[in-house]
Amino acid sequence: MKRCHHLCQLLSEQSPEATSLVFFAQGNKIHWSYKDLLKNIEDFPLPKARCVGVFASTTVEAIVSIFALAGKRRIVLLDPDSELSTLVAQIQKTHIGALLGDDELAAELHEYLDADTKCSDVDILFFTSGTTSKAKAVMLSEESLCAAAYNGGSLLPLRPEDTLLSVLPYSHVFGFVCALLWPLSFGCAVCLGRGTRSIFFDFGEYHPTVASLVPQMAGFLAAKKLFNPELRLILIGAGTCDSAVLNLIRSQGIQVSFGYGLTETSSGVALSLGVDPYAMSVCPDYQIEIAADGEIILHGGPTFMKGYYNDSESTANVLRDGALYTGDLGRVENGLLYITGRKKEILVFNDGTKLFLPEFEGDLRKILGQDADFAVLQGKDGSIILYIHKPTGIEEQIEKFNLAYPRSHRVAKIIYAPSPLPRTKTGKVQRYLITTD
């Protein structure tokens, strides 16, 4: 695999006649060679607007427009399934002047466009998860995204004959790099998923050998036994994954690699390659430092973001002296990186003690069940609240659970949620959307 610095260069390095994309159009399965893909990119009419928003679903139209715009316009990748209010806020925050990828949605949002935007940069912007007001636009580049694909491929190479099923939205950096650039950098064929409703059929229709999935999706597909016999490798990322899910996939004869990365690093930082899915080899371009408080600090930087768009203060908080402060906690043993949590996932109590949420919720999951839909929150008085959607009547179980913890760390209140907990596209609970009053 050759290190490339531009998206179209990555494509031009592959065999022209090899299959690049497989997708459905009007009920017919279409195969494009790398030559076909490059020709469609070359023929794509560029909009006049200097900042263009692309509804980045897993469609051939989205891929062609992103590659055609790269290096020529500022690109903002948007999730067409987001709430309308979220899209409005993202359009206004980044001063988008034109929208591509969904004509009906673009027409609905037309009034919020900034046709007079003047910008000379050609950055590629991805939004982090968070509330509408707190979500940040991360400024990446062709070079950083290609470097991320090279990094991952150096540790986990693919075969040119591999076929990867791409089902993750390209508005998420994990989906863009690990479900699109990674396979394309090896000259593989990328099969485009047809949406959530078709996930039951896509594995059987495309017969992929590789897939990139988020934990929630991987667990669902494994439990329903929807993987095809040809599938040999699954890369899981963008969130923590329970060992039970990983073991279930492995029991079906499929190799599993677990990845760690951030939007701010253009995706992958480390990948598990051995038997232990949580022992991760660090990608070639990085050096890891563990701070005194356990925070992972990254040095190296070809995949680092340029910064948060129009947010110099937040940028300065995480990019300092050429190092990126991740906000994640971890440790290094025998040269391998272990992720232990997030600094923000630590509850601090009035008595000065702290509680590590992932570990606490992991213990709760052992008694509530692996499929339990719940979150642990902290009330205004500092007490712990268990917010759960089904099952009910768990008071006795929680009373026994509490005995193993000091009084300040015990569940003080149980709230039964009327509906499933709000989650991001990658399955993370959106705690900030939960009200307990």
**Buried b or exposed e, range 261-290, using 16+ CB within 10 angstroms:** bbbbbbbbbbbbbeeebbbbbbbebbebee
> Hey, what CATH class is 349-433 in?
alpha beta
**Domain residue ranges of the chain, discontinuous segments joined by +:** 32-140, 143-342, 349-433
Distance CA 56, CA 237 (A): 19
What pLDDT shows up at residue 426?
63
Query: SS3 string of the chain?
Result: CCCCCCHHHHHHCCCCCCEEEEEEECCEEEEEEHHHHHHHHHCCCCCCCCEEEEECCCCHHHHHHHHHHCCCCEEEEECCCCCHHHHHHHHHHHCCCEEECCHHHHHHCHHHCCCCCCCCCCCEEEECCCCCCCCCEEEECHHHHHHHHHHHHHHCCCCCCCEEEECCCCCCHHHHHHHHHHHHCCCCEEEECCCHHHHHHHHHHHCCCEEEECHHHHHHHHHCCCCCCCCCEEEECCCCCCHHHHHHHHCCCCEEEEEEEEHHHCEEEEEECCCCCCCEEECCCCEEEECCCCEEEEECCCCCCCEECCCHHHHHHHEECCEEEEEEEEEEECCEEEEEEEHHHEEECCCCCEEEHHHHHHHHHHHHCCCCEEEEEECCCCCEEEEEECCCCCHHHHHHHHCCCCHHHCEEEEEECCCCCCECCCCCECHHHCCCC
Alpha carbon distance 297, 265 (integer Å) = 12
CB 170 within 8 A of CB 58: yes
- Render pLDDT for 257-308 as a digit per residue (tens, 0 to 9): 989 999 999 988 999 998 888 899 999 989 999 998 889 999 987 999 999 9
Give the Cα separation of 37 and 1 in Å (integer). Answer: 19
Q: What is the pLDDT of residue 90?
A: 94
pLDDT at 132: 37
pLDDT at 41: 98
What CATH number has the domain spanning 143-342? 3.40.50.12780
Residue 133: its pLDDT value, please? 41
pLDDT of 425: 64
**Omega within 30 of 0 (cis) for the link into 229:** no
Q: Does this chain's domain 32-140 share its CATH topology with 349-433?
A: no
pLDDT at 336: 96
Stretches where the chain sits below pLDDT 70 are: 129-134, 344, 346, 348-354, 425-426, 432, 437
User: How high is the pLDDT of residue 144?
Assistant: 96
CATH number for the domain whose boundaries are 32-140? 3.40.50.980
pLDDT at 352: 54
